[in-house]
Amino acid sequence: MGISGFEPTFLAGFEAVRKEHGPGLAALSGRRLTGFAIVRFVEDGDWFADCPVVLNFDGVQIEICHWKLDELSISWNSIDTTTAISDWEWFELTPAWSSADERLEPFIGQELREVALLEWRPSSHDLAAGTIAVEFVFDAGCFHIANALDENSIEVGDAHPEFVRYRLGCGAPPD
């Protein structure tokens, strides 16, 4: 993708993500969201949802990227959002890091209360069954970054009821 420092390791399934990243995600609780970055196209300002969503919690940076139908990469402190995105000659638009997003801006400065993993378990057959989202809960509300079938989505508010919610760091069973 031409993103400096981005070397994703994609995992599939709740247990793989929890085992690899559960402790790090849980350790974010109590930190403030101090910044974020997403990739937008310079020409029209549209969000390029294929690229990672970068969140900064008091100096700890988490980078979340969904890929394919069920894969999730979480990386830590590896992407340099001050460096231009390169190697895009094959694409007609110019990607650039942006800290503008109406969904995430209200959470800047808020203390993170809890992080949870959400597993999509629909009541009927669904191609997205088993995909994992990461939820961030603040006093003022919450948002989650989910798999929109081969790209990221950012949703504000309570997750759809067909997500099973697993709180991290508290040893609690699914909600």
175 has pLDDT over 70? no
Q: Where are the alpha helices (DSSP H) in the chain?
A: 14-26
Question: Rounded mean pLDDT of the chain?
Answer: 91
In a domain, 1, yes or no: no
In a domain, 67, yes or no: yes
* Share of residues in the chain with pLDDT > 90 (%): 77
In a domain, 126, yes or no: yes
In a domain, 174, yes or no: no
The residue ranges of DSSP E strands in the chain, in sequence order, are 10-12, 33-41, 53-57, 60-67, 71-76, 95-98, 112-120, 132-138, 141-147, 152-156, 163-167
173 has pLDDT over 80? no
In a domain, 141, yes or no: yes
Tens of pLDDT, residues 87-105:
666 678 889 999 999 999 9
Give the Cα separation of 148 and 49 in Å (integer).
Answer: 9
- Residue numbers of the domain that contains 44: 10-167
Tell if the pTM clears 0.85, that is, is over it.
Answer: yes
In a domain, 83, yes or no: yes
Strand order of the β-sheet with 95-98 is 10-12, 71-76, 60-67, 53-57, 33-41, 95-98
Q: The tokens of 41 are what?
A: 């196209």
Rounded to the nearest angstrom, the gap between the alpha carbon of residue 40 and the centroid of all alpha carbons in its chain is 16
Q: The tokens of 93 are what?
A: 């638009």
In a domain, 3, yes or no: no
Confidence of residue 82 (pLDDT cuts 50, 70, 90): very high
- The total domain count for the chain is 1
Report in angstroms the alpha-carbon separations of 63 from 74, 79, 98, 175. Answer: 6, 8, 14, 25
| pLDDT value of position 161 | 93
| pLDDT value of position 157 | 97
Tens of pLDDT, residues 25-78:
999 999 999 999 999 999 999 999 999 999 999 999 999 999 998 899 999 999
Give the Cα separation of 132 and 137 in Å (integer).
Answer: 16
In a domain, 131, yes or no: yes
Instruction: In the chain, count H helices and then E strands.
Output: 1, 11
